[in-house]
Structure 1
């Protein structure tokens, strides 16, 4: 249940708020309205088809230009991938004919609790927030904010109600705003008069519509101050304190002295930290990395957020080399003991990749797969680690001796995240395509992941068509998925942004027509597509007519020759959908030991970390 201060207002019978009309809004049922935010109305809605709850922030826009500009600025936020950031699930513009207004709608994750409820509950009870819990969630907030700032993204709207609690010990930042929305002076002035509480979290320069990463630092400082003072300061006092800091930072000293007297936990660390975060001049404020250093490196704070280990003292290379002397079993032990140090994981995996065959003692221990997968999870933001881990996975999977496939089931989602983070890194994408293919051979890609993996493989080919090795492994992966899934086959032929997979095959053939291995894999994909027969002949007509129903998966009762494991002659009409020149096949497609073997991959070369 929500804590005090949430003040939800449920709509009266027959009431139609600003979220009722609109084409996109038709799939949502408005349940009730939260307190208005700084920029607009917040609605709790239920998606009619899935019954999943969301929050929709509706921001009234002056005209089409403002709405489109804000939408364009917010669209890149949909691509963010971080465990402690709640990304927008949908963005759209809708028109309310009843009041003749244009609204930008931002669909967010719904959660019952946020930092605001925690603070208000403790304030009401005059209790101190648990120190261990606060250190843990603060670490998560710092990691998320450092991720945003590293990506040149400013939150702009950081306050306790925008840090949601997914569980008791897992928080997420949400409701990131845009420059267009936050610099609407007329809207801000109206909202400030209605409720000055909204602007009390903003930095002095942000009140004049100037935002930077340092503005987020100020807002975070205000949040920390509110959390550590809520046991002895009521809400109104706290708001006036935050507003006074914009003119006179000296008022902070009195509060810190009171905290010392009341023996608030970690007051010494916060006493050093907050004056540096709450400087009036943004150029005098510390950065997010400085905040991490003061609390988790120099200080004694602890958090479950493993990414904070990136800020630890690095282990010297000479020590790492000494630790990694020995056989595979001893290297595996070092990787497990130093799991939080990315530099140790990188050097360990590089050593395994370079080990002579006589020292490897093949087959490698089965637990090594689990260690590599864990390393990918812990260090998802370290590109060199991800690249080296994929290269090592290729070697491990290529042995074909996988006793426990459970850890591998996590890999497709991990690689999908890497794709989203580093779509332009050819080496990373190339290694990932090979891993996807071998995972498909081992049956480690779940049916619900087929569409996503097919889309990523097609995207990889489109972005890196000049890389023969990448193209070869990608087409192998596509052929394997299409062989076992009619839904995957539909994903290849359906017309989407950038064209269909069939047109892509034609483009790729023109580039690699002299590479028999690439051509063979492309041909095998076409053979598997053609073996579906009549379903895809109907698909041809749909494509010519606009192709809307092709996005629907076939019925479960379909019994294609492909699903039964039989291979048929390609149907001429299907091949006509993608009018390729004659493919110069030499001998049978995928001779034994080529089509189903280990994908070729470049030897990983270390980048400086």
Structure 2
């Protein structure tokens, strides 16, 4: 059995111990992906929902388990959290099941809310839509920052924790959503209603989730105007006809009574071509979405929460433990996180800092993730991470920090948030250089698309000496990392090295690191003859 708090992820193969920890309260029968049931934990009496997905064989179950591990680490106020997963063998039907235990939301889901409003022929209140939209966008941005996708967002997968809190749920391992035959068997026509056009060929991106959220938004806005069958027909038309969604806007404004700002979100989210469709983070720049985010108190709205005067003063005499407690208590406050990171920087090379390195890194990463629009937090946080990891490396410490997916994803997101800030990029690159001493971290960076970005950025940073040095050192680290898929990234970067060298021929330190990068590229056979011309 695997829990989100476990230090290491392990899979219990073909055992029934997992279900033995629960008392089944209700059997809900077949769902989109398999059976589901409401259970109660025997020890704590907490209620959960367990979803059972049939696997073709043990190999598929193991692959699904590996992909599910990041889902266990998702912690966000608008995501229905997974508590554990396990594999069980059903003797009655001789089948292997991958099981996921998730929080139970007793207040239903958005699909049920829509049905109630449709039966009463009444509009969904605009404030309810604003809360739903703000919390869903907030959650999607967080999911995407973790380098994950939902792939199956629809009204029945957005739950109500209470009257004013929506939770996105039913995130599944990619393995269970990547086979066309099983998609047809498990999802059928209903899935097609909410899935983006490109998803029909099992091609997914962050924008695929935005399309699905746009479909949910249309469903919620049309309760008094259309039946369920009519909405289904509309969604099919929108997927086939680019101009269809634009024609809906006047109707939703005039008859539905919704403001123009809300109605005009639909064409932004329901563009057939992904290139023309907004990402979740791009929606944050839309004024109406900013209002929704401000309503729910999200820092993404640009309206910062600040601590009462004098509250930060408690850090003056605080040690590491008290500072970490302060960060946890005030995670939503940008000024609190900025002050705490600054205070912790004094401990980066202190024994107390190394003794709490895992906790410090986890909370700094959390601050950088929650306040991703704050350049100060991203820059100061990255500097602190660099100092801590350098200290760890010098003392031969290789804990979970070096293979933390959260750390890698957060650094990649920070670099993408401020792609033209050379000071931030240079620090992030120095942190990445340290991480590249670990094979697993290098592999994660490759999967996150960061290493490909290094090659691209070299073409536009020649005027920044600091960035040129950082890029060359990073290429050296990539090239010397054992077992990493370095050749691909080195080949992309190779054509950039000679222009860099010619631009800094009078600067020996730059020439030295550039020659080192060029040497490792040649050693790996990544420099083509055309690159040297």
Q: TM-score range by the shorter chain?
A: 0.5 to 0.7
Q: Distance in 2 between matches of 1:27 and 1:288?
A: 38
Q: Matched residues in 1 for 2:24 and 2:256: separation? A: 46
Which residue number corresponds to residue 61 of structure 1?
A: 55
> What corresponds to 1:93 in structure 2?
87
Higher helix share: 2
Partners of 1:36 and 1:42 within 8 A in 2: yes
Partner of 1:40: 34
1:42–1:57 Cα contact (<8 Å) kept: yes
- The match for 2:219 is 226
Output the CA distance in 1 between the equivalents of 2:169 and 2:176: 16
Structure 1 window deviating more from structure 2 (167-176 vs 295-304): it is 295-304
SS across alignment from 1:246: helix
Q: Does residue 29 of structure 1 match 2:29?
A: no
Q: Distance in 2 between matches of 1:382 and 1:74?
A: 33
**Is 1:172 aligned with 2:164?**
no
1:111 to partner: Cα distance: 0.8
| In the alignment, structure 1 residue 257 sits paired with structure 2 residue 250 | yes
Which residue in the other structure is 2:493 paired with? none
Residue 22 of structure 2 corresponds to residue 77 of structure 1: no
Contact 2:307 2:333 survives alignment (8 Å) = no
Distance 1:87 1:118, change over 3 A: same
Match among 378, 382, 393 for residue 332 of structure 2: 378
- Mean alpha-carbon deviation: is it higher for 160-169 or for 300-309? 300-309
2:208 maps to which of 208, 215, 230? 215
Following superposition, the deviation at residue 289 of structure 1 comes to: 1.6
Unaligned 5+ segments in structure 1 are 1-19, 315-333, 340-344, 354-361, 395-413, 433-459, 472-609
Alignment CA distance shift 1:430-1:303 (3 Å): same
Quote the Cα distance in structure 2 between the aligned partners of 1:380 and 1:261.
41
Q: Is the 8 A contact 1:163 1:174 kept in 2?
A: yes
The answer on whether the counterparts of 1:38 and 1:188 sit within 8 Å (CA) in structure 2 is no
Deviation of residue 190 (structure 1)? 2.2
Identify if the C-alpha distance between structure 1 residues 206 and 468 changes in structure 2 by more than 3 Å, giving closer, same or farther.
closer
Cα displacement (A) at 1:385: 5.7
Would the aligned equivalents of 2:28 and 2:36 in 1 still touch at CA under 8 Å? yes
Aligned counterpart, 2:270: 278
> Cα 1:163–1:76, aligned 2, differ >3 Å: closer, same or farther?
same
Q: Distance in 1 between matches of 2:130 and 2:145?
A: 22
Give the Cα–Cα distance (whole angstroms) in 2 for the partners of residues 83 and 300 of structure 1. 16
Contact 2:283-2:289 at 8 Å conserved across structures? no
Unaligned runs of 5+ in 2: 1-13, 349-358, 369-377, 400-533
Pick closer, same or farther for the CA change 1:138–1:381 going to 2, 3 Å.
farther
Q: Which residue of structure 2 lines up, in the alignment, with residue 581 of structure 1?
A: none
Instruction: Give how far 1:201 is off.
Output: 0.9
Whether 2:387 is the aligned partner of 1:387: answer no
Q: Structure 1 residues 296, 223: closer, same or farther in 2, change over 3 A?
A: same
- The 5 A counterparts of 1:174-323 are 174-193=169-188, 196-266=189-259, 268-296=260-288, 302-309=294-301, 311=302
Contact 1:143 1:307 in 2 (8 A): no
For the residue of structure 2 that corresponds to 1:293, the secondary structure is coil
TM-score (norm 1): 0.52
State the Cα distance separating 1:297 from its structure 2 match: 6.2
**Who is 1:445 aligned against?**
none
Distance verdict in 2 for CA 1:381–1:55, change over 3 Å = farther
Q: Is the 8 A contact 1:376 1:389 kept in 2?
A: no
Q: 1:464 aligns with which of 350, 374, 392?
A: 392
- 1:231/1:422 Cα in 2 relative to 1: closer, same or farther (>3 Å)? same
Task: Give 1:36 shift.
Answer: 3.1
Q: How large is the Cα RMSD of the aligned pairs?
A: 4.5
Deviation at 1:380, TM superposition (A): 7.5
> How far apart, in 2, do the equivalents of 1:73 and 1:363 lie?
43
Normalised to the residue count of structure 2, the TM-score between the two structures is 0.58
- The 1-side partners of 2:347 and 2:298 are apart by 22
Asked whether the equivalents of residues 135 and 302 of structure 1 are also in contact (C-alpha less than 8 Å), the reply is: no
**Distance verdict in 2 for CA 1:175–1:301, change over 3 Å:** closer
Contact in 1 for aligned 2:78/2:135 (Cα 8 Å): yes
The answer to whether the 8 A contact 1:158-1:219 is kept is yes
How far has the Cα of 1:272 moved from its partner? 2.2
How many pairs align? Answer: 364
Higher Cα Rg, which structure: 1
Closer, same or farther: CA 99–468 of 1 in aligned 2, 3 Å: closer
Shift of 1:70: 1.1
